[in-house]
Amino acid sequence: MKTKLLLMLASATLATAGTPISVPAPAHLLPPGYAPITFLDGKLTVDIQEKMRFEGRENNFDFNNALNGPQDAAWLLQRFRLGLGYQMTDWLKFYVQGQDVRELGGSRPNVPGTLAAEGDDYFDILKAYVQIGDIKKGMSATIGRQFLSYGDQRLVGPLEWLNQARTFDAVKLRYASSKWQLDLFTSSPVVFNTTQLNKSQFFDTEEPSQTLFSGAYLATQLIPFNLTTDLYVFHKKDQGNGDFGAVLDNGDTDFWTIGTLWKGDPKKLRGFDYEMEMALQLGEVSGRDLTAFAGHWGVGYNFNHAWKPRIGLQYNWSPGDSDATDDDLGTFQNLYPTNHLFYGYMDTTGWINMHNPQLNISFQPTKKLKVMIDYHLYWNDDNSDAWRRVNGVTAVARNAAAAENASTFRGQEIDLTAIYKFNPHVAIQAGYSYFLPGDYLTETQTATRGDDSAHFAYLQLQFDF
């Protein structure tokens, strides 16, 4: 019998190698008052994290009660981190952080990414960098293995929900002032390997993609009623693959992402807030000409009440590709996001070929407890394109002749989340998600993919010192 119960724990990151001013860490990622252990008059810092998340899933991948695949089970995810930092001078810092992750129980393989497994990665290097200069003012450089996090993480983030997270071998230059901050970086994403030391794609001679990811990100506070007004340009280059159709002759990937993010300040807008992020992509993907777009628009109201209630509406959209057989591609490339935060906790959806209106409600009955209720609706933008999961690549359903004239309505999801912070060092998070399939799944059923409802539950406990 498939389990319907799952549990989860709040994720956190320590010493993030400097996150732009537009990216305050989500409340459940960085406990208030947190500070690492220090020695030698504060020059030497030690940080420790232990995270455990018990989760259970049913029908999250096949929507089929008749099948009991390896994803329909319960397991325990465990993560341990140990970080050491040394501030040699006011302008020179060294930092290294090791990480050990395990997936216990269940029947998924222990290889990260195989059948959606988070898998095992025995103690390895998550971060190792030298920081020159003060990242909070003036010029600075961060060189080595590090997190990259920009904007709201819709395109670039450390993906801390995932047990192993995401890290890059990178060179990052920054200029920071009181009103604006500019990052310039070039990087390569690190591949997590169960049996070998983790290496980034560009420096791993056995890795075929040889990915380079670079960009410029300007975060400003120049518009008075905005928390931030950002402009960015990202560039991705690799050897191409078959994720979005056949690889054409000279099928390299080489494209640009140009975008902007605006976030309104409720303190200056009489309790209202708003968000807007839009991104345009141009270039080539595996030899196909890419022209793609994605947009996010949201508005909310923060009530003047002791419980800090907020109600918000948002809409996320990205067009699909209308013809998978031609030399043009209209499928948005979601880059390196933390999509788990945005399009439903069951992780069925990325910022690709989708319409996603949402209702978001949150409140804080006490200073330590926050409760969130999110209601999602999902449609394909174009049935000729695939419905892709949270990673932006894996297909829930690919384009097929049966899908051309089917409904575009994927379904609905309700997410219930509660976060309780005992103190700056201990936090617990629990949640339950329910997915009610729409007509698209009913009209395009296969021998392995049905139209039954899906469930996801979790309980997560995290310690930070």
Give me 43's structure tokens.
């020059």
> What's the pLDDT at 293?
98
As a dihedral over the C-alpha atoms of residue 14, residue 17, residue 21, residue 22, rounded to 10 degrees, the angle is: -80
**Residue 222, class by beta-carbon neighbours within 10 Å (0-12 exposed, 13-18 middle, 19+ buried)?**
exposed
CA distances from 117 to 52, 70, 121, 344 (A): 15, 9, 12, 19
Q: What is the pLDDT of residues 278-290, one digit of tens each?
A: 999 999 999 999 9
> What's the pLDDT at 324?
82
> What's the pLDDT at 233?
98
Rounded CA Rg of the chain: 22
Q: What is the pLDDT of residues 125-176, one digit of tens each?
A: 999 999 999 999 999 999 999 999 999 999 999 999 999 999 999 999 999 9
Average pLDDT value over all residues in the chain: 90
d(CA 4, CA 127): 36
Q: What is the pLDDT of residues 301-329, one digit of tens each?
A: 999 999 999 999 999 999 999 988 889 99
| Domain range summary for the chain, segments of one domain joined by + | 7-464
- pLDDT band at residue 25 using 50, 70 and 90 as cut-offs: very low
CA distances from 89 to 43, 44, 93 (A): 8, 11, 7
Between 3.50.50.60, 3.90.45.10, 2.40.160.100, 3.30.200.20, what CATH number should domain 7-464 receive?
A: 2.40.160.100
pLDDT (average), residues 25-33: 42
Residues 6 or more apart whose Cβ sits within 8 Å of residue 83 = 14, 15, 36, 45, 46, 47, 48, 95, 96, 97, 98, 127
153 DSSP assignment = S
> What's the pLDDT at 21?
37
The answer to whether residue 257 scores a pLDDT higher than 60 is yes
Single out the residue of 442, 464, 443 nearest to residue 453, CA to CA. 442
Residues 6 or more apart whose Cβ sits within 8 Å of residue 384 = 320, 321, 322, 323, 324, 399, 403, 404
The answer to whether residue 6 scores a pLDDT higher than 90 is no
Q: What is the pLDDT of residues 407-429, one digit of tens each?
A: 999 999 999 999 999 999 999 99
